[in-house]
């Protein structure tokens, strides 16, 4: 998701996007795919105005904790 001001707003307007729970849930298939093929997956949020990135990270953490992720890759796999 992007702020509706992405192409025309100020820096603050462009990066002040609040992800909806559904927008974050839409990332889960990609996150699950990556998790199945590597030992670690890191998510970064660049909606850095105010506390939008921290809120998105907290929402994503809750979403991930309430879903089943693939087991991490092991040696020889």
**Predicted pLDDT of residue 4:** 63
Q: Would the pLDDT of 64 be above 60?
A: yes
Rounded to an integer, what distance in angstroms lies between the CA atom of residue 24 and that of residue 74?
A: 27
Identify whether 76 is part of a domain: no
Identify whether 74 is part of a domain: no
* Closest alpha carbon to 33 in 57, 69, 60: 69
* Closest alpha carbon to 57 in 27, 29, 13: 27
Q: Would the pLDDT of 72 be above 60?
A: no
Identify whether 44 is part of a domain: yes
Q: How far is CA 20 from CA 15, 43, 52, in A?
A: 15, 16, 11
Domain count for the chain, please give it: 1
- CB atoms under 10 Å from CB of 53, counted, come to 17
| DSSP secondary structure code for residue 6 in this structure | T
Task: Summarize the confidence of residues 27-36 as an average pLDDT.
Answer: 91
Identify whether 5 is part of a domain: no
Identify whether 45 is part of a domain: yes
């Amino acid at each position: 998701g992007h702020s509706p001001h992405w192409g025309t707003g100020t820096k603050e307007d462009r990066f002040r996007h609040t992800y909806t729970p559904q927008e974050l849930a839409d990332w889960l298939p990609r996150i699950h795919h990556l998790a199945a093929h590597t030992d670690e997956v890191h998510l970064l949020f660049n909606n850095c105005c105010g506390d939008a990135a921290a809120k998105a990270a907290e929402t994503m953490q809750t979403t991930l904790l309430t879903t089943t992720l693939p087991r991490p890759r092991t040696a020889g796999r």
